[in-house]
Amino acid sequence: MVASLRSRAQELGLSVMAFDQHGKLGTRPLSGNPFCGFVHQASTECAKGCHKLARYALQRGKSSRAVGPCGCCLLALPVLERRRAIGAIVLGMPTLEMLDQEHVARLCSRLGLDATVMMTAAVDSCRNSSEEAVDIQRVFSWLVWEAQQARDTNVALTSLSTNLATTYEGLSLLYRVSGSMKLSEEPRTFLHDICEELLDVMDVEIAAAIMTDDRVDLNGEVLIYAGAELPNRNALAALCSQRIVHQLEERENAFIDNTCDGIEQARFGRRIRNLIAVPLIVDAQMIGLVLGLNKREGDFDTFDTRLANTIANLAAVSMANHHMYVELQELLMGVLHSLTESIDAKDPYTCGHSQRVASISRRLAEEMGFSPDHVRHVYLSGLLHDIGKIGVRESILCKEGKLTDEEFDFIRQHPTIGAKILRRIRHLEPVVPGVLSHHERLDGRGYPHGLKGDEVPLEGRIVGLADGWDAMTSHRTYRRAKPTADAIEEIKRCSGTQFDPRLVEIFLGWDMDAYMADLQQLAGSDIPGLEETGPWDVGLSGLASRPEMLSDMEAIEPESPDTRWGISSDGE
């Protein structure tokens, strides 16, 4: 403020002195004229007079005037903040009345100054009469007020800008964290993302999340962190469990320690100066905590506390929701597996068929480069592809021998029935295309809609190939399984007409013997009397007892419309 008044004071030939709220001189005199400069150098009388007047103005909180020891006019202007004096400005004004040679001579004699030099300086410096002091006092009172307002405005704008920037960063962090709260996202990934965000917003060297409850699975880890290298993670986890967790349990809010002073540096491998910790609370129980170590500038404050608490609350909600999501997923998958097993159980010779088709479909989807969600949908399409058979009579499903046209029409309805069932479950809507179209063919000879080429959804082509392979390589009531080599040749023969050539190329690139061995482990038979046959020998004893059926089956042309080979126009 004093600096802003300097140019105005120099224009009028005034000296300026600033005092703090205790009347202590804050700056050296800023002289706008040589006369005051000489006097201040030669004597402290004027400085004392200014000090006395400043204290008087501070006590009154009003402007004051007085005649200084050298005869100049002194003007004291209090600096107010919220009606409280926080300092004073004292102006020294040599008046025209001081140009009297006798007055200058007496002053020079008392202070030991050269009268000729001082008289010349007085002529240049004494520009206003004592009667003009009132006007000058008013002008400078307004200038002081204006400078103070400008300073306060600048401080307020700086504070507002800082607060807005801080608030924006906090809101941006909350927005990003809220946006990343996906039910299907792994807790480890979510917590690591939170730690990365906290590094910048809270300006810390290390941000960490530590779980204290076994319900949250971090893939075997207890501590997730981001930032500077942490040589001894176990030591930090131990510190949290032994000290910080206890503090949080007592406070149930946040724990700040700005006076760590490098605690246990040898244990952690780096110095810890200060820290902030907030709990992750789920169902009134602490399942973990979020930790910030070593704020780069200053100490942790209330903003850090509020921000960390908000983030911790969001993280806790995300953890709880993910846990619930996992439980619901497990429940759903359990129900779906039970449902498919009940459908397979209607026909003892297709035991484990749905699980095997789902497994093959999943691997094909993965090798096609599908996203994890898309792979899961394809897997469920394979698992549920025959759910429509729940509406087909067992007498048709288990019939030993050739189907009649009417019976075959019933069989052809199961994709449509399955799609109708699944459409009622919103969560399973992405599964419908694969279920509905798994018996469609690229050449248009499939069912239920006779789609051609790209009209057949890719999910349906995947499940159709998996279904056809498993139908050929497993035993049924109406025929025995084909050898693997024969099934491979049949897949090659039907590539481009029934099966997608891209999928066939991927599928036949597998080590089929090894993969078939893996498939055998997916599903066994729980049907009484078949325990010793194994999942791939189901029905062999029954077929072997009727050799005429075997010979009849071998005589069936795979491409005939009424055959029940898995890759024929009827699908199975």
End-to-end CA distance of the chain: give it in Å, rounded: 93
- CA nearest to 145, candidates 191, 203, 101, 89: 89
pLDDT at 535 over 70: no
> Residue 551 — pLDDT band, cuts 50, 70, 90?
very low
Distance CA 334, CA 390 (A): 18
**Which domains, from first to last, does the chain contain?**
2-154 (3.30.450), 184-324 (3.30.450.40), 347-554 (1.10.3210.10)
Return the pLDDT at 181. Answer: 56
Question: The tokens 């400008």 sit on which residue?
Answer: 150
Distance CA 201, CA 304 (A): 9
SS3 state of residue 370: coil
Q: Which residues pair with 295 in a beta bridge?
A: 204
Return the pLDDT at 461. Answer: 96
* Mean of pLDDT values over 192-217: 79
| Cβ–Cβ under 8 Å, residues 398 and 346 | yes
Distance CA 447, CA 252 (A): 63
> Residue 381 — pLDDT band, cuts 50, 70, 90?
very high
- CA nearest to 65, candidates 8, 14, 133, 128: 133
Residues 6+ apart with CB under 8 A from 244: 255, 275, 277, 289, 291
How wide is the angle at C-alpha 424 spanned by C-alphas 423 and 430, nearest 5°? Answer: 35
Whole-number CA gyration radius for the chain: 45
| Cβ–Cβ under 8 Å, residues 347 and 474 | no
Q: Which long-range contacts (CB under 8 A, 24 or more apart) does 282-286 make?
A: 282/213, 282/316, 282/319, 282/320, 283/320, 285/213, 286/212, 286/213, 286/245, 286/248, 286/249
* pLDDT, tens digit (0-9, with 9 covering 90-100), for 8-60: 777 777 888 888 887 777 665 555 667 777 777 777 777 788 888 888 888 88
Q: Which of 85-94, 166-175, 210-219, 443-452 has the lowest mean pLDDT?
A: 166-175
pLDDT at 276 over 80: yes
Handedness of CA 50, 55, 58, 60 (dihedral sign): negative
User: CB-based burial of residue 283 (10 Å sphere; 0-12 exposed, 13-18 middle, 19+ buried)?
Assistant: exposed
Return the pLDDT at 438. Answer: 94
Distance CA 422, CA 431 (A): 8
Peptide bond into 279 cis (omega under 30): no
* pLDDT, tens digit (0-9, with 9 covering 90-100), for 477-511: 666 778 888 999 999 999 999 999 999 999 999 98
Return the pLDDT at 444. Answer: 93
- CA nearest to 136, candidates 99, 167, 166, 95: 95
> Residue 175 — pLDDT band, cuts 50, 70, 90?
low
Q: Which of 272-281, 333-342, 413-422 has the lowest mean pLDDT?
A: 333-342
Question: What's the gap between Cα 46 and its chain centre?
Answer: 65
* pLDDT, tens digit (0-9, with 9 covering 90-100), for 301-320: 887 888 888 888 877 777 77
The token pair that represents 341 in the structure block: 């097993």
pLDDT at 542 over 50: no
Return the pLDDT at 536. Answer: 30
> Residue 555 — pLDDT band, cuts 50, 70, 90?
very low
| Cβ–Cβ under 8 Å, residues 65 and 48 | no
> Residue 163 — pLDDT band, cuts 50, 70, 90?
low
Question: The tokens 């159709």 sit on which residue?
Answer: 464
Report which of residues 31 and 234 the model is more confident about.
234
Distance CA 399, CA 420 (A): 25
Residues 6+ apart with CB under 8 A from 71: 95, 97, 98, 103, 107
Q: What percent of the chain has pLDDT over 70?
A: 74
* pLDDT, tens digit (0-9, with 9 covering 90-100), for 412-435: 889 999 899 888 888 888 999 999
Q: Which of 65-79, 129-143, 552-566 has the lowest mean pLDDT?
A: 552-566
Residues 6+ apart with CB under 8 A from 450: 440, 444
pLDDT mean across residues, the chain: 75
- Highest-confidence segment of 86-90, 190-194, 381-385: 381-385
Sheet arrangement for strand 223-227: 223-227, 204-211, 285-295, 275-282, 255-257
Report which of residues 178 and 523 the model is more confident about.
178
Q: Which residues pair with 365 in a beta bridge?
A: none
Q: What is the DSSP letter of 313?
A: H
pLDDT at 231 over 80: no
Q: Which of 117-131, 242-256, 387-401, 439-453 has the lowest mean pLDDT?
A: 242-256
- CA nearest to 572, candidates 562, 368, 312, 86: 562
| Cβ–Cβ under 8 Å, residues 290 and 315 | yes
Q: Which of 74-83, 158-167, 256-265, 469-478 has the lowest mean pLDDT?
A: 256-265
Report which of residues 97 and 376 the model is more confident about.
376
Return the pLDDT at 449. Answer: 93
User: CB-based burial of residue 271 (10 Å sphere; 0-12 exposed, 13-18 middle, 19+ buried)?
Assistant: middle
Report which of residues 337 and 215 the model is more confident about.
337
Return the pLDDT at 314. Answer: 79
